[in-house]
Structure 1
Amino acid sequence: MPTIQSTAEIDAASDELFALSQDYDLRLEWDPFLREMRYRDGATEPAVGVRVWVRAKNGLSMEARYITLNPPEQVAITMVEGPRIFRQFSGAWLFKALSPQRTRVTFRYNFTARPQALAPVLEPVMAAVLRRDIEQRLAGLKQSAETTDILQRLPPRARPSSA
């Protein structure tokens, strides 16, 4: 199963970046990949077991389920239903505070291609596309956190208690 990841250091607190990564309204402002995101089954916030539906700007959509939620350090999802080219897909955000106002953010994907017989050919191409996606998403998060007022627009309940 291929695993790809990228890391960026961002001048912002880890708890703020974690909250921003999970705020679906604000995320649509900085995430260059996403067109639309919605909670499923009446959920209104992330929690282990909660399902979300996402549509990418390229038109592909996926329903995913939260499998890990450990604020402000880690969040992970796994695909429940999505593009047929993926036999399996999961993603994770990892936030490591380097100082009170600097965070190392790692974005990781794990996936396998379908059909399995073509996986040796498909997976390197898919990995290249997904790596570019991860790098652009991290760049969007970094640019927004460091150069806009987006962190100040987090809802009060999502803001760090020290703010």
Structure 2
Amino acid sequence: MPSVTIKQQMPVAAAQVFALLHDYSRRLEWDTLLCEARLTRGHQQAGLGATSLCVGKPWLGLIGMETRYVTFKPGEVAAVEMINRPPFFDHFAASIRHQDNEHGSMAVYKFQFTAKPRCLRWLLHPIMLPQLRLETHKRLQALASFLARTSISPA
């Protein structure tokens, strides 16, 4: 199962990063990957057990991934697992940890996935892994840039 860890220095405290990252009403202000982001199944805010739908931009095939929060500790860590069955993904899970430091905070994003169909994993994993790594890196950089532009006070 392919997995990736990406670290990104953030210009503000972990609590600020966490709050913006999980505010679905503001997600599209900074997220470079998505054209839609919303909570689902009656949830009004992100939290343990809450579900969300994130839909990739058209050039990524408009693939919608619905996830459930399996860990949610504000300012520290959140983790999700995929609960729907979108094209090309048999399994997907991700976590993001936040830790304050002298320059703001560090975000550490980890994800793992398994492609489908199984018979094409040998082909899909080497294609999907670098693309997902690149897009995740761009998203975290965009989040940091957004926070730097819009933040009133650094950590």
Same fold (TM over 0.5): yes
Moved more, 74-83 or 126-135: 74-83
Establish whether residue 13 from structure 1 lines up as the match of residue 16 from structure 2.
no
Q: Contact (CA 8 Å) 2:90, 2:114: kept in 1 or not?
A: yes
CA RMSD of aligned residues (A): 1.7
Please show how residues 41-120 of structure 1 align to structure 2 within 5 Å.
41-58=41-58, 59-99=62-102, 102-120=104-122
TM-score by length of 2: 0.90
Q: How many Å apart are 1:41 and its aligned residue?
A: 2.1
Q: Runs of 5+ in structure 2 lacking a partner?
A: none
Q: Contact (CA 8 Å) 2:4, 2:110: kept in 1 or not?
A: yes
Q: Contact (CA 8 Å) 2:14, 2:104: kept in 1 or not?
A: yes
TM-score by length of 1: 0.86
* Matched AA of 1:147: R
Q: Distance in 2 between matches of 1:46 and 1:143?
A: 23
Q: Contact (CA 8 Å) 2:12, 2:148: kept in 1 or not?
A: yes
Q: Distance in 1 between matches of 2:24 and 2:87?
A: 25
Q: How many Å apart are 1:54 and its aligned residue?
A: 1.6
Task: Give the SS at the match of 2:41.
Answer: coil
Q: Contact (CA 8 Å) 1:5, 1:134: kept in 2 or not?
A: no
Q: Distance in 2 between matches of 1:12 and 1:35?
A: 25
Aligned length: 151
Counterpart in 1 of 2:136? Answer: 134
Q: How many Å apart are 1:140 and its aligned residue?
A: 0.6
Q: How many Å apart are 1:82 and its aligned residue?
A: 3.6
Percent of aligned pairs with the same residue? Answer: 30
